[in-house]
Amino acid sequence: MTQSPAEIRRILVVGGGIAGWSAATALARTVRGRASIGVVETDEDLGEPLAIACRPDAAEFHAMLGLDEASILRGAQGAYSLGERMIGFGGEGAAYFRPFADLGAPLDGASFHQLLLRRRRQGRPEVADAYSLNAVAAELGRFAKPGPNERSVLSTLRYGFNLDGRRYAAGLRAFAESLGVTPLRGALAKAEATATGIAAVVLEGGERLEADLFLDCTGPASRLLGEALAVPVESWAADLPFDSQAETLVPEAASSRAFNVSEAAAWGWRRDTPLQGAVARRIVYASAHLDDAQVLQALPASGAVRRSKLAFGRRRLAWARNCVAIGPSAGSAGPLDLGLTLTHKAIRRLLELFPTLGGYEAARAEFNRRADEEMARVRDAALLPLVLNGRGGEPAWAAARETPQPETLAYRLSLWNSRGGVISFDEEPVPESDWIAVLLGQGPAPRRGDVLAESAMDDAALADRLGAMRRAIRQGAEQMPTHDVFLTRSGAAAGGAGR
Amino acid sequence: MPDSTVRTVVIVGGGTAGWMTAAAIAQALGPHVAIRLVESSEIGTVGVGEATIPHIRAFNAKLGLDEAEFMRSTQATFKLGIEFRDWGRPGDSYIHPFGAFGPDLGEIGFHQHWLRLRAEGLETSIEAFSAPIVISRLGRFAHPSADPRALLSTFSYAYHFDAGLYAAFLRRYAEERGVQRTDARVADVRLRGADGFIDAIVLDTGEQVSGDLFVDCSGFRGLLIEQALKAGYESWAHWLPCDRAVAAPCHAQEPATPLTRSTALDAGWAWRIPLQHRVGNGYVYCSDFISDEEAEATLLSRLESEPLADPRRLRFQAGRRRKQWSRNCVAIGLSSGFLEPLESTSIYLIQAAIGHLISLFPDGSWDPVDETEFNRLMELELERVRDFLILHYRATQRPGAFWDARRQMAIPDSLAYKLALFEERGAVVRYKDGLFQEPSWLAVYFGQHVSPTGFNPLSAGLPAEALRREFAGIEQAIRRQAEALQPHESYVAQLCAVGA
């Protein structure tokens, strides 16, 4: 017979930030007073960027917490985002859009990207962006949320948003406090490790905090899991020529864009993440090809600049004994801006597999198996635009093309190169549509056609139907309001309603 | 079309696998490939399946089949799940339904809350929270509601049908779309010297049939994939030792229920599949524990009426062909491997192979990536079904030598892992590729008394009284709505009435 398990009564989240406060909030909503939840805000570098790029999956997490999206955006200078413009990765002057939505729609049982590849093989310069309402709307400065009518092209929209990281964390913190979470401030002196895990953490002031379960949200340093429990990192950073990053906040009075931009340069790339009234700018670069003075020119920065090494890898165990790493302490997607998605996935995984006071080996093994697979998939996705770069005469990018490929990435590319095939594995955090966008945008032309796409319809019919799709998308985009108007109407404008 | 293309597909073997393959390729690739199917009217087909799972509806929909016409033509009935009798213990009955147990209540799965309430004294079976179980136990049926908010939208359904009639139905469909049928036996398979590809098959009429792609639907013997190409066979008999079956149809003595029935017996298990015009019956057994004669006698003694035909005997070995796709030959159906029909997966596995073949359809360059990817996907499919089947044999308290041995056998690591997680806290391992998802695993775990020692402690975050009220409300709503539905048999009769 099932026993009522011995419940965990004391949970301590070490390290605040977005990972820590998100975890504390989600737990507070779920345990509802049956366990105490404390958050120690330490002075660690949490490894969280100035601007948080939320993919569409963030909406689900916020809904689970009961957070209103417009007020999150309002409080964190948020801007909506339809995807990312990628400039110069395929080669100097080449550009494409990575939408948060599927490209086109299957026709007569053939997948859409295979039909585009068929047209390209026939010498038609098909631009994938024209078949994405997300991409076309972004180009026109428009934004809307998906429409409810499934037959309308407006239902194909998918969106994410960008948030000011500091303000977003503060908002989560206030919400967590309203749910009874206790914040404590103090620098972390040490964590006491025993055979059963962490017994307590000790602050610089001498205060000793015990708990049953510890969440390590201390950023890349991973003070608990990494330092106290000696769980090592498996780093993939040395595979990449790009080893450093710098970021700054640039005020921008002009109207906001509803998409991010990554633009490649000889030394790496610059990524702009628009917020309301500002742009967070981050460069990822090869320090061998960009010295400190050049970093300031490359950004360019007028205000404070934060620099760090580019972390890329995973903790060998995301959960060891009674300590679970959430956020950058568990791993970093390196070149890929996926931190919030990974944080949210880890929190939901923890809720699903939440431990008791004893006897949770199977749950921990399953948590770690999934975390591990997820990071392996992240590694593939992060490397994709780098290994497929078409930039000539630049040593860093030439080296990027030679990055050692994990077996799974090599396998995926062999399928693409042969027949334009795209697959996904278990625990894939990046949707197939994103792989298709990058492969169509900067990948090589597959050696042969897909038989289903080749035989789906004759050339004239295909041209007609693609033309109709492009027109419907353009018309749909033209009906949408501008991003600024949408922000105001939806109550998400900073300084607007609710302030 | 590019020059180096596959223009001719030769399918060896009719039956369910052969005609499903012919129909699907004709539909997807139409006039671009010529399809020739060789079958001998002298060789019987096994007639696998008869009981299906909901995926078959996607297959039929892709072909554009009209449901009523299909059901009329194949004497089909509806199916909401499988009833397992006497599996966990003699006297048991549980249903593996096509639908989830209860609605999600927040982040914690419904069954976790049920486990918690059970620990606090709730006695209601989890079956009371499954609409398809309650509906099918009452012998009722209705199509699921199209309104996603409706309680009766939360399930799916499949069919029982006469596999021979289904093959005939698809044969007409395929022939109307240009598939050429030849009635002959295959006398010889000729391989190309250079690369070992199949060049042609030689028929007993003397005719040589050449082709670009060969699909082996010849059944257990694997005429092309094994006898000619020596793909090899990985036996899973140590996990699934049932190696024979005996089958006989009879007339129904009760109204057709929307359930396949599987009853555990001394040396295996018996199936009962209600169709419109008859009931399919069979005994799947392990020949180490019972003789063929005894098995046949057992089957006949269990029939609800006189058999309509002489009992037919079948032999098989659980396992998979090491390469389902080798060179220019793809094995579909029993030629690709065998898993006993305990969970009605035979037709699903045919369908999965057809789907993967069409999406990885080769061209004349025969790039090995197609073969590799096809084999990877089918291996996942087969292994995940295999683990699920083994669970039925592992989790049982039945007495007897056959069942003692099942309880004591070593199981695959992949299954041991899943079981450990469930036993610890009632959690189910999820995966993207592969058939059975959480509700299926839960049905068998709970149905066969795999009792977790714990549950998700976060369930305690919901106040007990409110949760009990919520549960009672769900239970009542399901029962009330199920009782308002029509009996399954009259529902089928109405749908299939000509001119309806």
Task: Please indicate, yes or no, whether residues B202 and B145 belong to a single structural domain of this protein.
Answer: no
Please calculate the CA angle A353-A358-A364 and round it to the nearest 5 degrees: 35
Shortest distance, CA A350 to any CA of chain B (angstroms) = 10
Q: Does A1 touch chain B (CB under 8 A)?
A: yes
- Give the amino acid at A479: Q
Give CA separation, B109 vs A150, A158, B437, in Å.
Answer: 29, 27, 13
pLDDT confidence of residue A4: 53
Asked if A424's CB is within 8 angstroms of B461's CB, the reply is no
Say if CB A199 and CB A22 are below 8 A apart.
no
Rounded Cα gap, residues A215 and A196, in angstroms = 15
- Residues (pLDDT < 50) of chain B are 1-3, 500
pLDDT tens for chain A, 499 residues long, are: 455 568 899 999 999 999 999 999 999 999 888 899 999 998 778 888 999 999 999 999 999 999 999 999 999 999 999 999 999 999 999 999 999 999 999 999 999 999 999 999 999 989 999 999 999 999 999 999 999 999 999 999 999 999 999 999 999 999 999 999 999 999 999 999 999 999 999 999 999 999 999 999 999 999 999 999 999 999 999 999 999 999 999 998 776 799 999 999 999 999 999 999 999 999 999 999 999 899 999 998 778 999 999 999 999 999 999 999 999 999 999 999 999 999 999 999 999 999 999 889 999 999 999 999 999 999 999 999 999 999 999 999 999 999 999 999 999 999 999 999 999 999 999 999 999 999 999 999 999 999 999 999 999 999 999 999 999 999 999 999 999 999 999 999 986 443 3
Map residue B154 onto helix, strand or coil.
coil
B362 chain-A contacts, CB cut-off 8 A: 451
Of B267, B287, B315, the residue at which a domain comes to its end is B315
Chain A residues 410-449 with CB within 8 Å of chain B? 414-415, 418-419, 421, 423-428, 447-449
- Per residue in B299-342, pLDDT (tens digit) is 999 999 999 999 999 999 999 999 999 999 999 999 999 999 99
Tokens (6 digits) for B184: 């002959």
From its phi and psi, is residue A186 left (phi > 0), alpha (psi between -120 and 50) or beta?
left
pTM, two decimals, is 0.95
- Per residue in B447-467, pLDDT (tens digit) is 999 999 999 999 988 899 999
Is B186 labelled as part of a ligand binding site? yes
Asked if A419's CB is within 8 angstroms of B429's CB, the reply is no
Q: Count of H helices and E strands in chain A? A: 15, 22
pLDDT confidence of residue A204: 93
Task: Please indicate, yes or no, whether residues B263 and B276 belong to a single structural domain of this protein.
Answer: yes
The answer for residues whose C-beta is within 8 angstroms of residue A359's C-beta and 6 or more apart is A5, B424, B453, B454
Say if CB A156 and CB A272 are below 8 A apart.
no
- The minimal CB distance from B427 to the residues A109, A353, A447 is found for A353
Rounded Cα gap, residues A354 and A364, in angstroms = 9
Does residue B336 sit within a domain? yes
Rounded Cα gap, residues A389 and B111, in angstroms = 48
- The minimal CB distance from B457 to the residues A356, A418, A452 is found for A356
Task: Please indicate, yes or no, whether residues B375 and B403 belong to a single structural domain of this protein.
Answer: no
Rounded Cα gap, residues A484 and A258, in angstroms = 9
Chain A residues 341-400 with CB within 8 Å of chain B? 348, 351-356, 359-363, 365-366
Structural domain of B326 = 8-76+161-237+318-384
Rounded Cα gap, residues B38 and B22, in angstroms = 11
Task: Please indicate, yes or no, whether residues B115 and B148 belong to a single structural domain of this protein.
Answer: yes
H or E segment at A313? strand A312-315
Does residue B495 sit within a domain? no
Say if CB A379 and CB B481 are below 8 A apart.
no
| Strands of the sheet with A233-235, listed across from one edge | A233-235, A312-315, A331-333
DSSP label of B204: T
H or E segment at B265? strand B259-265
Catalytic residues of B: 79
CATH of residue B359's domain is 3.50.50.60
Is B411 labelled as part of a ligand binding site? no
pLDDT confidence of residue A44: 78
Map residue A291 onto helix, strand or coil.
coil
Tokens (6 digits) for A441: 């945008």
B380 chain-A contacts, CB cut-off 8 A: none
Tokens (6 digits) for A93: 């002057």
pLDDT confidence of residue B47: 60
DSSP label of B105: B
A1 chain-B contacts, CB cut-off 8 A: 119, 451
Task: Please indicate, yes or no, whether residues B13 and B116 belong to a single structural domain of this protein.
Answer: no
Say if CB B167 and CB B219 are below 8 A apart.
no
Does residue B169 sit within a domain? yes
End-to-end, the C-alpha distance of chain A in Å comes to 54
Task: Please indicate, yes or no, whether residues B311 and B175 belong to a single structural domain of this protein.
Answer: no
Task: Please indicate, yes or no, whether residues B186 and B220 belong to a single structural domain of this protein.
Answer: yes
Does residue B289 sit within a domain? yes
Does residue B365 sit within a domain? yes
Q: How many domains does chain B have?
A: 3
Say if CB B289 and CB B266 are below 8 A apart.
yes
Task: Please indicate, yes or no, whether residues B165 and B253 belong to a single structural domain of this protein.
Answer: no
Shortest distance, CA A429 to any CA of chain B (angstroms) = 12
Of B315, B332, B361, the residue at which a domain comes to its end is B315
- The minimal CB distance from A4 to the residues B30, B119, B362 is found for B119
pLDDT confidence of residue B346: 94
DSSP label of A224: I
B29 chain-A contacts, CB cut-off 8 A: 451-452, 455
Asked if A451's CB is within 8 angstroms of B5's CB, the reply is yes
Task: Please indicate, yes or no, whether residues B397 and B380 belong to a single structural domain of this protein.
Answer: no
Burial label for B355, CB within 10 Å (0-12, 13-18, 19+), is middle
Task: Please indicate, yes or no, whether residues B107 and B125 belong to a single structural domain of this protein.
Answer: yes
Rounded Cα gap, residues B164 and A466, in angstroms = 42
Rounded Cα gap, residues A394 and A402, in angstroms = 13
| Strands of the sheet with A208-210, listed across from one edge | A188-194, A197-203, A208-210
pLDDT confidence of residue B2: 44
Does residue B378 sit within a domain? yes
Give CA separation, B232 vs A307, B166, B332, B337, in Å.
Answer: 58, 30, 15, 10
Does residue B93 sit within a domain? no
Does residue B374 sit within a domain? yes
Shortest distance, CA A428 to any CA of chain B (angstroms) = 9
DSSP string, A405-425: PPHHHHHHHHHHHHH------
Task: Please indicate, yes or no, whether residues B126 and B182 belong to a single structural domain of this protein.
Answer: no
Rounded Cα gap, residues A337 and A276, in angstroms = 19
Say if CB B213 and CB B8 are below 8 A apart.
yes
Give CA separation, A110 vs A423, A462, B29, B327, in Å.
Answer: 15, 11, 10, 25
B419 chain-A contacts, CB cut-off 8 A: none
Task: Please indicate, yes or no, whether residues B331 and B226 belong to a single structural domain of this protein.
Answer: yes
Place of tokens 């710098």: A246
Query: CA B146, B152, B156, B158 torsion: positive or negative?
Result: negative
Say if CB B52 and CB B350 are below 8 A apart.
no
DSSP string, A78-90: -EEE-EEEEESSS
Of B264, B290, B315, the residue at which a domain comes to its end is B315
Nearest Cα neighbor of A45 from A66, A22, A16, A25 is: A16
Other Cβ atoms within 10 Å of A57 Cβ, number: 16
H or E segment at B249? strand B244-250
Q: Does A458 touch chain B (CB under 8 A)?
A: no
